[in-house]
Amino acid sequence: MSQANGSVATSPAALDTQPMLDIRGLNVYYGESHILRNVDMSVQRGQMVCLIGRNGVGKTTMMKTIIGLLSPRSGSIVLEGKEITRLSPDRRAKAGIGYVPQGKDIIPRLTIRENLLLGLEALPPGSAKSQTIPDDIFELFPVLKTMLNRLGGDLSGGQQQQLAIARAMMGRPRLLVLDEPTEGIQPSIVLEIEAAVKSIIRETGISVLLVEQHLHFVRQADWYYAMQKGGIVASGPTKDLSKDVIQEFLAV
Amino acid sequence: MTAILESFFGGLSIASVLLLAALGLAIVFGLMGVINMAHGELMMLGAYTTFVVQNVLKGTPLESVYILFALVTAFIMASLLGIILERGVVRYLYGRPLETLLATWGVSLILQQLIRSISWQLATGIVLFSLLFFGTLWFFSRRGDFERFRGWFLGVMLPISAAITWFVSDLLGKTHKMPFTRPWFGTQGVDVTAPSWLRGGVPIVPGYQLPLTRLFIILLTAACLLGVYWFLNKTVWGLRIRAVTQNRNMSACLGIPTQKVDALTFAIGSGLAGVAGCAVSLLSSVSSNLGQQYLVDTFMVVVVGGVGKLIGSIAAATGIGLLNYVIAANALGPLLSFSPALTAISEFFASGPMAKVFVFALIVLFLQIRPAGLFPQKGRTVDA
Ligand SMILES: Nc1ncnc2c1ncn2[C@@H]1O[C@H](COP(=O)(O)OP(=O)(O)OP(=O)(O)O)[C@@H](O)[C@H]1O
Ligand SMILES: [Mg+2]
């Protein structure tokens, strides 16, 4: 993969140490209410990073700002050395971000197949887009293969979540952003989704940014950030997650 | 029996015009969530385009097939105007239905006046002004620091362009006099004549001939319907349009260029209005209020049919078209002769405007029972 943008540092060493995602001094408002306060956060290459925090602290706001549904009042978002703070969501998807929103946002009156094919839109322009669904997508979630012609809106919540992740993977992202992928989903499917995310990381080596409440899933990550009232208040390797931190930041 | 068959085919041809007009409106309505009040004027543009194409081709070997060229030109002209409308006005108003409604209504009034007063003088003026103002705007906006002197630019270039335009068109008007200042179309209607092979009719039942123009319109509608169905369901851009219509934000997050999709949707919806206008020009004289005549009926079709389903529009257009025709022609009169009261009622409504009132009342009743239209969308709804 070659970077076309000339302003980007291109020596191999620089590319390797460059973080996948680097966020500096992010301030986001909803009207006049200040939601994100001076957030710094980064995701290294191949890393899985988990953002934790209680309900309503601003985790989803953070994810929406990363994909470009919200624009920050100040601060910068840099993806692989390329500034994306002012890009529209579709350009960010093409720059390599795969987004699975909290509400899943399956397009309800398109079939499963069509929903999956929409995932191809993120591929850079010019790359040959065969309108087919590769096998590795079905290996992640075999259940999808059996119902390609059903409407997205008719799936159960768990199935929609699997579809949303599969759809994001269709675009071959280099950073996968997952906003509470296990929220409101029955325990057996939670394990399936967890296994799928782990297998994605193993097979493709992409970076993952995860918002999660299930402790078991949180522990799969390499690094955590804890958020409170719109600011990052703690961070570190997940193996160091102490009981106190868990008590304080997870709704367990 | 003959009378009923006759009114069936008569109603069907009205229905097909309605459907043709509603098709484009429904597509744009699905995207904006608001009706484009200038849709009727896009039809008007299509009708006037037909008139112009006919006159341009008069006396050439292509004269007999002018209608085919007119269809294509009407589609292109209306799409272009649609794109300008979307890029210039509507796109700033997505998510604000009331403003969109008002703005497109304003555009519709402007277009009606424009078609009445357009002359060589006015046309030159518009082109000159656009070249001067938008040309320099384009030239300067490529500079990185344009945002800083934007206000200054507008304050200077707007009056300068306007003054030059006014001066030049006034000068041209004085030197060339009448042919230059006379309106092209004026306030009177203009007439399009069907090509010779479309005059006459096919006998449907003894004593009734379906005029060929109406048959042509029915076939044209069927072709457009198939074309739109194919485009929306079988092509990549069709898939993108359906996705953006249902969930704009998520579509953008997946990498769909929503601005291009908006412009394309508008182009197709408007182009179809142009085609509808071309068809309408075969039925009646063309004037600046052509759009107004059709907009309400067309809107009714979209509302009754339910958004996002072609089959709904088809059913609604057929229903409304047939009802209108049957009631206005009092075709059921003979069947009601057993009851003086019913006869009186059906005679009371047996005129164009009264039939409309009756159908309108029926629609209001119908929407009380099924507010989402004939074919409401299945599946969980999205908050878009
Ligand atoms: N559209 C909006 N308009 C105004 N305020 C909003 C909007 N969406 C969210 N907020 C506010 O922003 C804050 C952060 O919301 P956000 O959705 O980011 O929380 P969250 O951490 O994702 O919570 P949860 O764990 O429940 O998903 C909340 O206080 C919420 O009330
Ligand atoms: Mg959230």
Higher pLDDT, B378 or A56: A56
Residue of A39, A60, A250 to mutate, ligand 1, most atoms within 8 A of C-beta: A60
Q: What percent of chain A has pLDDT over 70?
A: 92
Nearest to B379 among A93, A108, A131 (CB): A108
Range of the domain at B266: 10-118+214-375
Closest Cα to atom 30 of ligand 1: A56
Higher pLDDT, A45 or A9: A45
Q: Are B353 and B296 in contact (CB under 8 A)?
A: no
pLDDT confidence band for A27 (50 / 70 / 90) = very high
pLDDT for A99 beyond 70 = yes
Split into its structural domains, chain B has a count of 1
Q: Are B343 and B337 in contact (CB under 8 A)?
A: yes
Contact partners, residue A26, CB within 8 Å, separation at least 6: A36, A38, A39, A40, A41, A62, A65, A72, A74, A75, A76, A77
Contact partners, residue A184, CB within 8 Å, separation at least 6: A157
Strands A223-228 and A48-52, bridge-based pairing = parallel
pLDDT on residue A197: 94
Amino acid at A188: S
What stretch of H or E contains A231?
strand A231-237
pLDDT for A251 beyond 70 = no
Provide the edge-to-edge strand list for the sheet that holds A207-211.
A97-100, A175-179, A207-211, A48-52, A223-228, A231-237
pLDDT on residue B193: 86
In whole angstroms, give the CA distance from residue B24 to residue B269.
4
Atom of ligand 1 lying closest to residue A53 CA = 21
pLDDT confidence band for A86 (50 / 70 / 90) = very high
Go through B267-303 and write b for each residue having 16 or more CB atoms within 10 A of its CB, e for each that does not.
Answer: bbbbbbbbbbbbbbbbbeebbbebbbebbebbbbbbb
CA A122 – ligand 1 centroid, Å:
27
pLDDT on residue B340: 81
Distance from CA of B237 to the nearest CA of A (A): 11
pLDDT on residue B134: 87
A108 — contact with chain B (CB < 8 Å)?
yes
Residue to test with chain A: of B233, B245, B254, B262, most A Cβ within 10 A: B254
pLDDT on residue B37: 92
Alpha-carbon B1 to chain mean position: 35
pLDDT on residue A129: 66
Closest Cα to atom 10 of ligand 1: A30
Nearest to B379 among A105, A109, A122 (CB): A109
pTM for the full predicted model: 0.87
Q: Are B219 and B211 in contact (CB under 8 A)?
A: no
Q: Are B139 and B153 in contact (CB under 8 A)?
A: no
pLDDT on residue B145: 75
Q: Hey, which of A15-19, A156-160, B94-98 has the most confident mean pLDDT? A: A156-160
For chain B (384 residues), the mean pLDDT of every run of 10, in chain order, is 73 86 89 85 95 91 90 97 93 86 94 89 87 86 77 84 86 77 82 86 78 89 94 93 93 95 94 94 89 87 80 88 83 75 80 83 86 63 34
pLDDT on residue A182: 92
Nearest to B255 among A94, A107, A114 (CB): A94
Question: Above 0.95 for ipTM, yes or no?
Answer: no
Mean pLDDT of A140-169: 93
pLDDT on residue B308: 66
Atom of ligand 1 lying closest to residue A102 CA = 27
Q: Which two tokens stand for residue B381?
A: 């709804």
The CATH class, in words, for A46-69+86-249 is alpha beta
Q: Are B63 and B197 in contact (CB under 8 A)?
A: no
Atom of ligand 1 lying closest to residue A63 CA = 18
pLDDT for A10 beyond 60 = no
Amino acid at A76: S
